[in-house]
């Protein structure tokens, strides 16, 4: 499985402030490294809860089908659960790779921080009333990242809210069933658990031998 990375260059300007806009390129480069070697493996293993807090936000692993390759693509994303659905946002606009993938094939899988995998159908939220209900909750669920990138929507002008709605697609994922997770039959989470137990036993044995 491959990790999808969002492109930085956009045909249309993104509704971020000047400071955040200048930081998009270096942030994208940093996220590529962190996501590949840390975030995605942790979410695959069901360890997302270890670094998900109300302050920093929670992350899920979105799996889409590559629109040209047909291969499974993975992207770690902030999310919120409301009204029986999962919601996430294409933070780099309509050219975000995973967003373009689900436009071609809306069938997706989501791995939650607990390791539970859910199958679903994804589509962009087009109803302004639904967007107004969900997006503020989504921004809050992002924690520090949400405040740094989007800001406090309580003080946002109607023009700014309209720009965010038009340029940053909010995506609704309606669950359709369960998918297999790393702790399910055939999964490999047991390898990590058994390795941790073996390491703890080895450390305990070494301490006993030193005392004897």
Q: Which two tokens stand for residue 8?
A: 């930085």
Beta bridge mates, 76: 61
- Are 137 and 193 found together in one domain? no
Question: How far apart are the C-alpha atoms of 144 and 52, rounded to whole Å?
Answer: 12
- Are 114 and 204 found together in one domain? no
Which of 1-10, 59-68, 194-203 is predicted most confidently?
59-68
Q: Of 135, 138, 141, 124, whose CA–CA distance to 161 is shortest?
A: 135
- Are 173 and 190 found together in one domain? no
- Are 14 and 118 found together in one domain? yes
Task: Grade residue 35 by pLDDT with cuts at 50, 70 and 90.
Answer: low
Please give the residue that has the higher pLDDT: either 183 or 96.
96
- Are 73 and 117 found together in one domain? yes
| Ramachandran bin of 186, using left for φ above 0, alpha for ψ from -120 to 50, beta for the remaining angles | left
The secondary structure element, H or E, covering residue 132 is: helix 128-141
- Are 146 and 160 found together in one domain? yes
Q: What is the pLDDT of residue 110?
A: 93
Residue 112 scores a pLDDT above 90: no
Beta strands in the chain (DSSP E): 2-3, 59-65, 72-78, 80-82, 85-89, 107-111, 117-124, 170-179
Instruction: Give the CATH number, domain containing residue 27.
Output: 2.30.110.10
Residue 111 scores a pLDDT above 60: yes
| Number of domains the chain contains | 2
User: pLDDT averaged over the chain?
Assistant: 80
Packing angle, helices 158-167 and 128-141, rounded to 10: 90
The pLDDT tens digits of the residues spanning 173-188 come to 999 988 776 666 666 6
- Are 37 and 78 found together in one domain? yes
Q: Are 169 and 94 in contact (CB under 8 A)?
A: yes
- Are 188 and 122 found together in one domain? no
- Find all residues with CB under 8 Å of 87, minimum gap 6, and list them: 79, 80, 81, 125, 134, 138, 170, 171, 172, 173
- Are 55 and 106 found together in one domain? yes
Range of the domain at 198: 182-212
Instruction: Output the pTM of the full model.
Output: 0.73
Residue 37 scores a pLDDT above 50: yes
């Amino acid at each position: 499985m491959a990790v999808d990375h969002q492109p930085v260059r956009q045909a249309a300007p993104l509704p971020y402030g000047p400071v955040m806009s200048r930081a998009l390129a270096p942030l994208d480069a940093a996220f590529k490294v962190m996501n590949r070697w840390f975030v995605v493996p942790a979410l695959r293993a069901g360890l997302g809860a270890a670094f998900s807090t109300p302050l920093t936000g929670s992350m899920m692993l979105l799996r889409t089908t590559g629109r040209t390759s047909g291969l499974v693509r993975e992207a770690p994303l902030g999310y919120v659960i409301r009204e029986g659905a999962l919601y996430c946002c294409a933070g780099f606009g309509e050219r975000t790779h995973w967003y373009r993938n689900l436009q071609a094939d809306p069938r997706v899988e989501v791995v939650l921080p607990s390791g539970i995998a859910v199958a679903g159908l994804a589509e962009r939220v087009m109803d302004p009333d639904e967007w107004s209900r969900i997006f503020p909750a989504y921004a809050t669920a992002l924690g520090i990242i949400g405040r740094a990138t989007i800001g406090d929507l309580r003080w946002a002008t109607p023009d700014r809210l309209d720009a965010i709605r038009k340029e940053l697609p909010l995506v609704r994922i309606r669950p359709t069933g369960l998918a297999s997770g790393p702790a399910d039959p055939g999964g490999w989470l047991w390898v990590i658990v058994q390795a941790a137990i073996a390491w703890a036993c080895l450390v305990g044995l070494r301490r006993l031998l030193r005392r004897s």
